[in-house]
């Protein structure tokens, strides 16, 4: 927690840059976090106490220089305003969020070793991020880690967790991988899961599921000699 007498030395969010101007390594680093965000926008549409940032700077007082942000590929904060003062955030400034750090931070493996397993992890530990997730499908063997790792902050230290999808009771959701499609191309994606381990579908998938279910029901009625149109 930030001591109140330090806040006068910290810049306001309007004074801080909202981009580090560093491009992401690949398309997935934008695509996957945004899919997670789109699902939350539907799933938590009525909730006003959460924020999910994608490639957004987090300014925090635990940094050596509070004007230099850490920029995860994505992060989730709970217990904060959905929109800060009714407006979209330019960045996430911890000392302007009642000193609430993100509950979850996601980093994706880089083409070159990107400090996900040491320096960045230590920054999130000091910041107090409860769950730190590293998704590294392409370079995990190079980095001598698993492709999907979840660390939980327990008594001040990160401990690697077991299980996938991994259930996070503090979030009320699980996180894990699944095989999906993007533009008719089969790809591995990250998704949210419920407590039973069932994946929460995107709006598009829900529509496709309902359409398929309706078509199967209509076909079954025809087999029984019924005209589905007459039941409408």
Distances (CA, A) of 203 to 32, 42, 43, 96, 171: 15, 8, 10, 33, 21
Contact assessment for residue 57 and residue 17, using Cβ atoms and an 8 Å cutoff: yes
Residue 11 pLDDT class (50, 70, 90 cuts): confident
pLDDT for 153 equals 98
Percentage of the chain modeled with pLDDT above 90: 66
Q: Which long-range contacts (CB under 8 A, 24 or more apart) does 115-120 make?
A: 116/143, 117/143, 117/145, 120/70, 120/72
- Does the reported pTM lie above 0.85? no
pLDDT for 203 equals 80
Please tell us whether the domain made up of 4-200 is placed in CATH 3.90.1570.
yes
Residue 72 pLDDT class (50, 70, 90 cuts): very high
Q: What is the mean pLDDT of the chain?
A: 87
Domain spans, the chain? 4-200, 202-232
């Amino acid at each position: 927690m930030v001591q109140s007498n330090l806040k006068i030395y910290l810049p306001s969010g309007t004074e801080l840059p909202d981009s580090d101007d560093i491009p992401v390594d690949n398309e997935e680093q934008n695509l996957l976090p945004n899919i997670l965000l789109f699902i939350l926008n539907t799933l938590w549409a009525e909730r006003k106490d959460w924020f999910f940032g994608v490639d957004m700077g987090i300014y925090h007082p635990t940094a050596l220089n509070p004007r230099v942000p850490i920029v995860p590929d994505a992060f989730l904060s709970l217990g904060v305003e959905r929109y800060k003062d009714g407006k979209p955030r330019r960045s996430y400034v911890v000392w302007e969020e009642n000193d609430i750090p993100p509950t979850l931070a996601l980093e994706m493996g880089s083409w070159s070793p990107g400090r996900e397993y040491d320096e960045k992890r230590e920054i999130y530990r000091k910041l107090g991020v409860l769950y730190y997730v590293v998704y590294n499908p392409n370079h995990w063997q190079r980095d001598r880690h698993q492709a999907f790792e979840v660390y939980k902050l327990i008594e001040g230290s990160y401990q690697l967790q077991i299980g996938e999808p991994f259930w996070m009771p503090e979030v009320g959701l699980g996180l894990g991988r699944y095989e999906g499609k993007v533009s008719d191309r089969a790809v591995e994606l990250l998704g949210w899961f419920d407590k039973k381990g069932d994946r929460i579908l995107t709006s598009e998938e829900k529509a496709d599921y309902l359409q398929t279910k309706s078509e199967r029901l209509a076909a079954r009625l025809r087999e029984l000699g019924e005209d589905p149109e007459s039941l409408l």
